Structure 1
Amino acid sequence: MADALGLLALLVGLELVLGVDNVLVIAIFVGRLPASQRKRARFIGLSLAMLARILMLAIVVALTGLTQPIVATLSVRDLILLAGGLFLLYKAVHEIHHTVEFKEAEEHPTNGAGAAFAAVISQIVLLDIVFSIDSVITAVGLTQHLWIIVTAVILSFVGILFFAGPIGEFILRHPALKILALSFLITIGVTIFMEGLHKHVPKAYIYLPMGFALMVEILQMRYEHNRQRQKG
């Protein structure tokens, strides 16, 4: 039992660390919706993404050939990563353009609110599948006890749901942080694409520069806040 609990804690930690990408994606996508719909979009999107991840877990267990080449040297996993990386690159560049050019209000008119909501939900689910494929394969490699993996997925999603709201709203209140987050998504998209080509990029090479850039931006925000307060 102690081994099972230790493995559960390890998997929850793994899911939460990888959930950083999810939090950024949710913050950006949900930000295109009216404030009254954002909380519901986060909950529905993450709930469907959790169910999709559990379903994918069952598929990975059933199909051991997920990592076997089917096109040249590319497997199903590789094709998913390549497509997901390209899609994330497109979305990040698209969002940066609309943020810088102040075109956000034109993107989703009020008469298309339902379509916009559905589009955000579907994008959250699809990108979560891309982000989670490696963690699911890793989890299956660590244990064959599905209840441990499913419990870890559920607990990690509760944690992500708790942090996605405050972090997302904080990012949306500060345009500079939003552009920085979108730049991170470009880096993540390139990394996912490279993984699909069997070019491994250590996560430390991504998260350390991201953390440093975020720290610099927070210091800049603190400086501006103190300067404005001193003027007042």
Structure 2
Amino acid sequence: MAELLTIENLGNLLMLCFLQAVLGFDNLLYISIESQRAPLAQQKAVRFWGILIAVALRVILLFVMIRLIASLSEPFFVMNWTGVLEGGVNFSTLVFLLGGAFIIYTAVKEISHMLSVQHLDHDVEGKAGKSGLRVVALIVVMNMIFSFDSILSALAITDVFPVLATAIVISGLAMVLLADGVTAFIQKNRMYEVLGLFILLIVGVVLLGEAGPAAAHAMHNDALQLQFFGHPLIPMSKTTFYFAVLVLFAVEFLQTGYGRKLEAERRSGQTQR
């Protein structure tokens, strides 16, 4: 135990906690939105157990990946459809492709549901559209997909399992503490739910982009990067992603303030008449 309490490991732990916090934002957003699909009385328990089970599975996934990272990195299929579809496919590629596609599908489905007449007329019933167990399962599955990128990034910092596991547990506890507050904020400010869904849509696109160089980075072979019609699939940088998120928040904030100003002017005009 004493050999773990080194300045290097403590520094890596702080860096990992920061990394988990940054990369966990979209995960927390998904949990807050998805938990509202469960019956109202079960929503808090759904968030708690969903995060708890997901954190436990994330630690297990970390343990497995440390020991099987070489075999997971090896491409099991290489596409050679010259000029149309080229590149290697490994486990990481599949996770990013399937996870990104599922997140995009979820975001588009929920946005279309919010725009439907039925949703406007039956808003309360719509919140209980899924069983608590189903929502917990979705949260756990999506947490695993979100965590894959963060685990790969964490392994680039250190491969000391106790340090990595501690950072994951701390981030899980932070999500448990913040999930109720984020959900309550979204429920009181429903317009931000639409904003959250569009952010999830961007997250899905980011994950699809991460699939491009997954096999190439793992094998240090640029020829394995996914290419469509001769163009490589390049991931969006985290800086670009968070800039886009900040722009979305700024637009929503300004639009909300402008809408309130117009409403106040309209009411003032009616009072003068």
TM-score for the superposition, normalised by structure 2: 0.76
Q: What is the CA distance between 1:206 and its match in structure 2?
A: 1.3
Determine if the alignment matches structure 1 residue 20 to structure 2 residue 35. Answer: no
Q: What is the CA distance between 1:35 and its match in structure 2?
A: 2.9
Partner of 2:247 in structure 1? 212
Q: What is the CA distance between 1:7 and its match in structure 2?
A: 0.6
Alpha-carbon distance in 2 for matches of 1:224, 1:122? 39
Determine if the alignment matches structure 1 residue 34 to structure 2 residue 69. Answer: no
| Identity percentage of aligned residues | 28
Partner of 1:141 in structure 2? 156
Higher helix share: 1
Let me know the Cα RMSD of the aligned residues: 2.4
Cα deviation digits, residues 107-145 of structure 1 (max 9, x gap)? 9789x87x6211111111111111111221222232222
Determine if the alignment matches structure 1 residue 177 to structure 2 residue 192. Answer: yes
Alpha-carbon distance in 2 for matches of 1:229, 1:109? 32
Cα deviation digits, residues 68-112 of structure 1 (max 9, x gap)? 2112201101101111111111111111111111445599789x8
Alpha-carbon distance in 2 for matches of 1:102, 1:96? 12
Dislocated runs of 4+, deviation >6 Å: 106-110, 226-230
Determine if the alignment matches structure 1 residue 196 to structure 2 residue 231. Answer: no
Instruction: Specify which of 129, 135, 140 is matched with residue 120 of structure 1.
Output: 135
Partner of 1:99 in structure 2? 114
Alpha-carbon distance in 1 for matches of 2:21, 2:66? 22
Is the 2:16–2:154 contact (alpha carbons within 8 Å) kept by the matching residues of 1?
yes
Deviates more, 1:146-155 or 1:158-167: 158-167
Structure 1 residues 161, 219: CA separation in 2 closer, same or farther (over 3 Å shift)? Answer: farther
Partner of 2:77 in structure 1? 71
| Partner secondary structure for residue 33 of structure 1 | coil
Q: What is the CA distance between 1:218 and its match in structure 2?
A: 2.4
Instruction: Specify which of 24, 46, 51 is matched with residue 46 of structure 1.
Output: 51
Q: What is the CA distance between 1:172 and its match in structure 2?
A: 2.6
Q: What is the CA distance between 1:146 and its match in structure 2?
A: 0.7
Deviates more, 1:34-43 or 1:2-11: 34-43
Alpha-carbon distance in 1 for matches of 2:193, 2:126? 21
Alpha-carbon distance in 2 for matches of 1:122, 1:102? 28
Is the 1:81–1:195 contact (alpha carbons within 8 Å) kept by the matching residues of 2?
yes
Is the 1:49–1:125 contact (alpha carbons within 8 Å) kept by the matching residues of 2?
yes
Instruction: Specify which of 132, 142, 148 is matched with residue 147 of structure 2.
Output: 132
Partner of 2:13 in structure 1? 8
Q: Which has the larger radius of gyration?
A: 2
Is the 2:77–2:89 contact (alpha carbons within 8 Å) kept by the matching residues of 1?
yes
Is the 2:37–2:126 contact (alpha carbons within 8 Å) kept by the matching residues of 1?
no
| Partner secondary structure for residue 156 of structure 2 | helix
Alpha-carbon distance in 1 for matches of 2:111, 2:47? 21
| Structure 1 residues not aligned, in runs of 5+ | none
Determine if the alignment matches structure 1 residue 155 to structure 2 residue 170. Answer: yes
Deviates more, 1:8-17 or 1:174-183: 174-183
Which amino acid in the other structure matches residue 170 of structure 2? L
| Structure 2 residues not aligned, in runs of 5+ | 1-5, 79-87, 214-233, 269-273
